[in-house]
Structure 1
Amino acid sequence: MFNEFKTFIMRGNVLDLAIAVIIGAAFGKIVTSLTEDILMPVIGKIFGGLDFSSYFLVLGAVPPELTGSTDYAALKKAGVPLLGYGEFVTQAVNFVIVAFIIFLLVRAVNRLMPKPVEAPAAEAADIALLREIRDELRTRRV
C-alpha cells in the first residue's frame, strides 16, 4: 500500500497540483492586498469616500459596549449577526481580478505555445478516383 501511495504522489499531475495550490494561495494573498489596499480605496474615493467593507446590516442584538458602532470587524468579533454586503462587494471584486489575471495568463501561454503542425488531410477516395479519371482522359486526347 505504501508503494502505491508513493507512486500516486510521485505522478506529475499530483506534484503539479500541489505546486499550483501553494502558488495559488500566495497569489490569493497578493490579489487580496491589491483589492483591499489599492483598488477598493480608489473606488471608494471615486464614489465619494465609500469604504465598502463598512457596509453592513445588523440582524441581531448589539452588545451595549458596541451600540452605535460602525466597525464591522469589531461587531463580527463580538458575535453580532451581520449581513456584510460591503465585504461581499470586496470579495466579488477580488474574484473578478483573479479571474481576469488568470485569463491573461492562459491567453499569454496559449500564444507562446507552438501550434502543432497539421498534416495535410488525406484525399477522399472519390476525389482521388475523379482525378485519375481526369488524368486518363487527358492522356487519351493527345
Structure 2
Amino acid sequence: MNKLNKSLMATLLVGSVVTPVFAEQKQATETLAFEAVDYEALFESESKAVEVAALSTKDMTETQGSFLNFVVGGGVGFATYAAQQTYYGEPISLQGSFYSAGVGALTGGVGGSLIRAAGGGFAGNAAWRPGMFGLNYGFSQYSSYRGW
C-alpha cells in the first residue's frame, strides 16, 4: 500500500473512535446563567467531611503490577524502532529511541487499561485496539516526518 492509502486508513480508524465522543456534545445556543443553587453547588461549605478509606488487601493486589503494560509497551516500541532502523540501514538515534519507547509505553499502558476497563476479552479489544493502532500509526508518521 502506498503512503496515501495508509494515511487514509489511519485517519478513518482514528475518526471512527473519536466521532462518537464528539456526537455527545451539544451546541449551546444561548448564554448560560448561574443561579444561587449553582453557586452553592460549586462552593460547598467545608463542614462536609471527606470520607477517605485505606485500600484493602484485595484492592492492593488488583492494582499490583499495573505498570507492566507501560514497561512492555515501551520495550516493544523501542525494539520495533531499532529493528526498523537496522533493517533499512539507518542509524539509531537517541531521540528516535526515546520517542518510540515513549509512544509504545503510552499506547501499551493506556490501551491496556482502556481494554481492561471495557471488560477485556474480545469486546474490550474490539472497542479500543483499532484506536490504539491508529494512534500509534499517527505517531509513527510524525516520527517519519521529523526524520527520527
Give your verdict on TM over 0.5. no
Please indicate the TM-score interval, normalised by the length of the shorter structure.
under 0.3
More relative contact order, 1 or 2 (CA 8 Å, 6+ apart): 2
TM-score (norm 1): 0.26
TM-score (norm 2): 0.26
